Amino acid sequence: MSTQDELTVPQEQLAEAWRQVLPERLHGGDRAEIMADEADPKALRVHIRTAGHQMMEFDFAVRYVDSREIDIQLTDAERDGQTVDERNDVMQALIQDYRRHLHECAQALHDVTHA
């Protein structure tokens, strides 16, 4: 990997950019919290609460592989505060949907992340 393709944006500035853009990518009523990952300067923690009566919450680790590409890991899925099995079809569909929104957010921020 070349050094010019490394992510050079300060982590808190990156988190703030995500706070501005991600809500525009989510379904109406869904809520997202974006925090800097204290263990990794190239990563963010994203917590998404779904709208409506489902009371679903998802936690994702979003790590910049380089200035353009992100790696997304689901770290937790809960319903009503209880961890749920994310392997069923409905959960997989929701997770894939949110992963797509996270990728769209990263794409929208290329002008910020790509020096």
Distance CA 14, CA 76 (A): 22
Express each pLDDT in 86-99 by its tens digit.
Answer: 898 989 999 999 99
CATH fold label, 3-110: Alpha-D-Glucose-1,6-Bisphosphate; Chain A, domain 4 (3.30.530)
Strand partners, 45: 35, 61
Domain boundaries, the chain: 3-110
pLDDT at 40: 96
Distance CA 4, CA 57 (A): 36
Express each pLDDT in 22-57 by its tens digit.
Answer: 999 998 899 999 999 999 999 999 999 998 777 899
pLDDT at 14: 97
Distance CA 77, CA 83 (A): 6
- Specify the DSSP class assigned to residue 67: S
Cβ–Cβ under 8 Å, residues 1 and 66:
yes
